[in-house]
Amino acid sequence: MCELFAMSASQPTDVGPYLSRLMPRGGRTGPHADGWGVAYYEGRAARVFKDSLPAANSRYLALLAKSRLKSTAVVAHIRKANPATTAPCAANTHPFEREWNGSSWIFAHNGKLPGLHDVARCPTSRFHPIGGTDSELAFCMLMDAIACEHNAISRLEPGDIVAAITPLVRELRALGEFNFILSNGEHLFVHAHTRLHSLEASRKETRAAYVLLATQPLTREGWRPLQPGAIRVYRSGVATA
């Protein structure tokens, strides 16, 4: 399995302390030693940093955590290859990125979808996998569903996106385990299938409200488990759906 982490904030916020707590789980205190990735948004563009080496031993990730790089939307992932045949490499490392409608879309998945490559509808539009993971294939399928909806609606609101992907999400989670975070920089679309936690907080010095999401709580703060099943939407540190 893998672990997810994300943030949505009202003002650019540093998540370095939380990344520092996530790092050891990538091969030292946890088994997720098959790569790591972090995406920071600058408006509609994502700056994606990732490596197929263990997070726990990564000087690159340690430097990133200490850099105090700030953003209003962050998506991070530490990976445990499952099945092991999807080897650690750049193509198989989350988060994955695609451009659509003038924005970087970022996706990270925790779980497994056995048999997806055998039963999946092959993506019919511009979105195709680069690596061999079921996660990236599922991402391409979600993006296809959104793009197809856009053909009928000139401007997609968050509710339109949720409606477009909900039938597919139901199909995919029936195959196995499908916890994921999808973002276009403005919104986080979050699906807690089995296990995901949230923490709502604020910082007085910047007046920033923010929400953090993680597979497992990273601190002793008041993290709460998300109720499985629904697709939640966060914008500027607030749940909008």
- What pLDDT is stored for residue 83 in this prediction? 64
Rg of the chain on CA atoms, in Å: 17
> Phi first, then psi: what are they for 21, rounded to 5°?
-80, -25
Report yes or no: 76 and 39 within 8 Å, Cβ to Cβ: yes
pLDDT at 152: 65
Catalytic residue from among 2, 89, 122, 148: 2
Q: Which pLDDT score is estimated for 168?
A: 95
Active site residue 89: no
Query: Is the domain defined by 3-239 classed in CATH 3.60.20.10?
Result: yes
Nearest to 76 by CA among 7, 179, 169, 177: 7
Residues 6+ apart with CB under 8 A from 67: 16
The model's pTM = 0.95
| Predicted confidence pLDDT, tens digits, the chain (241 residues) | 699 999 999 999 999 999 999 999 999 999 999 999 999 999 999 999 999 999 999 999 999 999 999 999 999 999 998 766 578 899 999 999 999 999 999 999 999 999 898 876 655 567 999 999 999 999 999 999 999 888 766 678 999 999 999 999 999 999 999 999 999 999 999 999 999 999 998 887 778 899 999 999 999 999 999 999 989 999 999 999 7
